[in-house]
Structure 1
Amino acid sequence: MLKKSVLWIHKWLGLITGLVVFLVSLSGAIYTFHDELKLLVYPEKYFLQSPASEATPLPLTELVSRAQSVLPDGEEISRVDLYPASGRSWVFRASDIDVAGFGHWNYFRYYKRVFMNPYTGECVAVEDSKNEFFQLILQLHMNLLLGKTYGHAIVAYSTIIFAVLLATGMILWWPKKWRGKTLRRSVWLDRKVKWKRFNYDLHNVWGFYVFPIALILCLTGLLFSFPEWKKPYSDFFNQFSIFNPNSTTLQNTTSQISKRHHAPIDNLLTYVLQKHPDAGMMSIRLREPDAPVVDVQIRLREDRSGLFRWYYVNTQDLSIKEIRSHDKLSAGDLMSALNFDLHTGTIGGLPTKILVFFIALGCASLPITGYFLWWNKRSKAKRKSLSRI
């Protein structure tokens, strides 16, 4: 009786959310390797033709001004992603959104990326990121290209339902006997069976193997969908921390950085580039000219957002207000910081990215095999009813 009720819930929840789960899982699989694929597909944007190994980058404010000059009036740069490696261009982002806009092209009023040579100040390329392939894949994954108000909610609640589907699927998968043919069929595919039985086994076996990682992907995805959950999530894991949750600031020997430029952000960037020449990348969100603090986020590895240093400097006297570091975070705050790395599979490098890629493909296959299961049973029931007439 229990399994019958669980099957009914599993079937109808799967039919309701199947298309969403398929699209979100497939787009997630494609996006897993977006960093590597972008470098292969757009090498002329991301790599400089003549790397300057000994050259010094121009002041950031000058580069921002030059990047701004190639954009239409009204499109303002708000973020910079830069790479200390000498052969890489720097990326200047300009975007504006309409939160209530329905559909991707109404949600983004504009989204441009300007690729600059940081040593010469030359514009390498201007990308219409609103229509760029990997950006479309990301927006499909996050909100089905429907915009934030509607699409984001559909994806979020479908993810919750998919977590329920994973749990009910495990109840249905649970073998009656943990031995012999029953157990073997639950964990291994027999290619000699007929197609309908093979489809059933494929749904059953794949569901078993993807369950633990797929559940982690659901939970980490929900933290993006419901950011208000992050605090209770962090607070829960902070109970098991050996660090003081407030002890996140690194001790630094330099209390004040040198003034070499007029703009505080130029001085801060010069300092951190010298301090972390081997960093993977750095991100800067541009502040108002009268902002009391400027900051730079440093990824120690380009593909790992959870390995970071974050510098905050007072604009008045260029004193270092705070340096935040991943290795000084308490357990819960570290889990939150690692959420992106866990969700995308970058936490363990290439092996875990490959794992997440195949798990995402496995998740995308479950609605397909599940639909065929429903259709086959529906057809069988229909034939039975016709034979009784």
Structure 2
Amino acid sequence: MIKKAILWLHKWLGILSGIVVFLVSLSAALYTFQDELKLLFYPNKYFLQSDAGAQQPKPLTELIAKAQANLPDKETISRVDLYPAKDRSWVFRASATNAEGFGYWNYQSYYKRVFVNPYTAEVLVVEDTKNEFFQLCLQLHMNLLLGKTYGHALVGYSTAIFALLLLSGMVLWWPKKWRGKPLKRAVSLDWKAKWKRLNYDLHNVFGFYSFAVALVMALTGLVFSFPAFKKAYIDFFNVFATEVVLTDLSQDKASAVPYRYIDPLDNGLSHLLTIYPSADMMSVRLRDKDEPLVDVQIRLAENRSGVFKWYYFRRDNLQVDKIQDSEKLTGGNKLASLNFDLHTGSIGGMPTKIFAFIISMFCASLPITGYILWWQKGRKSTKAKTKRAIR
């Protein structure tokens, strides 16, 4: 009786959310290798023609002005992604959204990225990121290209339903006997079986092998979708923290930032490039001039957003006000910092990315095989009713 109720719930939740789960899973698979594929497909944007050698980058404010001059007046640069590696360009982002806009092209007012040679201030490319392929994949994944107000909520609730489908599916998959033919059928495919049986096994077996990783992807997706869930998630795991580790590092805070330029942002960034020459990337979010702090995030490992140091400088005297270090976080805060890496599979580099890609494709197949099962049972039921009517 209980299993029948779970089957009924599994079926109708799957019917309600299937199309969304398929699109979100497929777009996740397409987006998995976006970091590597962008470098492969757009080398003229991301790489310089010649290594800069011993040259030093020009002041950031000068580069911002140069990039801004290549954009329309109403499009303002708000973030810079820069690379200490001598063969890489720096990326200047200008983006604005309309939260109430329905549909992606109404929601995203504009999104441009200006690629600049930081050693010569030459503008390499001005990209219309709003219509770039991987950006469209990301927006399809996040909000189905419907905009944030409607699409983000639809994806969030469908992800929650998908988590329930995974749990209920595991109950339905559970073999009656953990040996012999029942166990073999539960964990392997018989490609010689008839189509109906093969489709049923595809749904069950792919669901089983996807379960653990897909559940992690679903839960980390909920962290992005629902602030209340994120807070509860952090608070829950913080309970297991044995001590609070301060993120302020007194030795680093005491270090003096040399005044080489007029603007505090130029000095702070020059200081960090000297300290972390082998960092993968640094990100600067441009604040208003009256903001008391200037902040720079340093991503220490390649394609990993969860391994970082975040420096906050006082604008008035360039003293280091605070440093956030991902290694010093505890419990839920640590997991929250790793959320993107867990969600995308970049937590372990290329091997886990490949694994995440495969699981995403498995997840995309589940609604298809599930809908076929529903259609087959409906067709069988219709035939049975027709036979009874004829009699």
Q: Give the TM-score range, shorter chain.
A: over 0.9
What is aligned with 2:97? Answer: 97
> How many Å apart are 1:50 and its aligned residue?
1.7
Per-residue Cα deviation, 1:35-66 (whole angstroms, up to 9, x for no partner): 00100111110001122121100000000000
Inter-partner Cα distance in structure 2 for 1:330 and 1:7: 40
What is aligned with 1:42? Answer: 42
Q: Which amino acid aligns with 2:221?
A: G
DSSP-derived class of the 2:300 partner: strand
DSSP-derived class of the 2:307 partner: strand
Equivalent pair of 2:309/2:326 in contact (CA under 8 Å): yes
Inter-partner Cα distance in structure 1 for 2:136 and 2:54: 37
Q: TM-score, with normalisation over the residues of structure 2?
A: 0.98
Q: Which amino acid aligns with 2:48?
A: L
Inter-partner Cα distance in structure 1 for 2:122 and 2:26: 38
After the TM superposition, which residues 260-279 of structure 1 pair with which residues of structure 2 at under 5 Å, given as runs? 260-279=260-279
> How many Å apart are 1:192 and its aligned residue?
1.3
DSSP-derived class of the 1:70 partner: coil
Q: Which amino acid aligns with 2:283?
A: S
Q: Which amino acid aligns with 1:250?
A: L
DSSP-derived class of the 1:301 partner: coil
Inter-partner Cα distance in structure 2 for 1:139 and 1:361: 18
Inter-partner Cα distance in structure 1 for 2:44 and 2:269: 25
DSSP-derived class of the 1:375 partner: helix
Moved more, 254-263 or 196-205: 254-263
1:250 aligns with 2:274: no
Equivalent pair of 1:249/1:328 in contact (CA under 8 Å): no
Inter-partner Cα distance in structure 1 for 2:248 and 2:382: 67
Please list every run of 5 or more consecutive structure 1 residues that lacks an aligned counterpart in the other structure. none
Moved more, 153-162 or 320-329: 320-329
DSSP-derived class of the 1:257 partner: coil
> How many Å apart are 1:228 and its aligned residue?
3.1
Inter-partner Cα distance in structure 1 for 2:353 and 2:249: 31
Please list every run of 5 or more consecutive structure 2 residues that lacks an aligned counterpart in the other structure. none
Inter-partner Cα distance in structure 2 for 1:121 and 1:185: 63
Per-residue Cα deviation, 1:230-262 (whole angstroms, up to 9, x for no partner): 2322222122223315x1222324433111111
Inter-partner Cα distance in structure 2 for 1:338 and 1:249: 20
Report the identity percentage.
62
Find runs of 4+ consecutive structure 1 residues off by over 3 angstroms: none
Q: Which amino acid aligns with 1:143?
A: N
> How many Å apart are 1:360 and its aligned residue?
0.6
> How many Å apart are 1:227 and its aligned residue?
2.3
DSSP-derived class of the 2:119 partner: coil
What is aligned with 1:111? Answer: 111
> How many Å apart are 1:2 and its aligned residue?
1.2
Q: Which amino acid aligns with 1:21?
A: V
- How many residue pairs align between the two structures? 388
Inter-partner Cα distance in structure 1 for 2:336 and 2:303: 16
DSSP-derived class of the 1:111 partner: strand
Per-residue Cα deviation, 1:291-345 (whole angstroms, up to 9, x for no partner): 2110100000131111001111101111111111011111211111000110011
What is aligned with 2:15? Answer: 15
Q: Which amino acid aligns with 2:67?
A: A
Equivalent pair of 1:243/1:329 in contact (CA under 8 Å): no
CA-based RMSD: 1.0
